[in-house]
Structure 1
Amino acid sequence: MKEIEVFIDTEEIAEFFFHELTKRGFVPVEQEVDELADITFEYLIKKCIIDEDVSFDSEE
């Protein structure tokens, strides 16, 4: 299987959840969508869909 490099941005995930939830009639607050984004990121790691690159975090 070919390996590709993918960058996952939790802020982008949070924005996606916010727009999708409001489109469905929900009114989420920022903290809620941030938590959903973090949970989604952790889920992707747990399912081995992505690997967390710690070196990227230390560059900021």
Structure 2
Amino acid sequence: MREIDVFIDTEEIAEFFYQELIKRGFIPTEENTRELADITFEYLLKKDIITEEWDE
């Protein structure tokens, strides 16, 4: 299996969730979508789909 660099932007994920929830008839708050983005990021980490790296 090869390794690739993927950059995850939680703000982009939050915006995606916001738009998708609106399409489905929900009225999410900004805080709701940020929480969903954080949960998604944590899920990807837990499943070893991504690893978190810090810029130095």
The answer to whether TM tops 0.5 is yes
- Matched with 2:24 is 24
Unpaired segments ≥5 residues, structure 1: none
Unpaired segments ≥5 residues, structure 2: none
3-state SS of 1:27 partner: coil
With the length of structure 1 as denominator, give the TM-score of the two structures: 0.90
Q: Structure 1 residue 54: deviation in Å?
A: 1.5
Query: Deviations 1:5-45 (Å, cap 9, x if unpaired)?
Result: 00000000000000000000000000000000000000000
The share of aligned pairs that are identical, in percent, is 68
CA RMSD of aligned residues (A): 0.8
TM superposition outliers: structure 1 runs of 4+ over 6 Å: none
Q: How many residues align?
A: 56
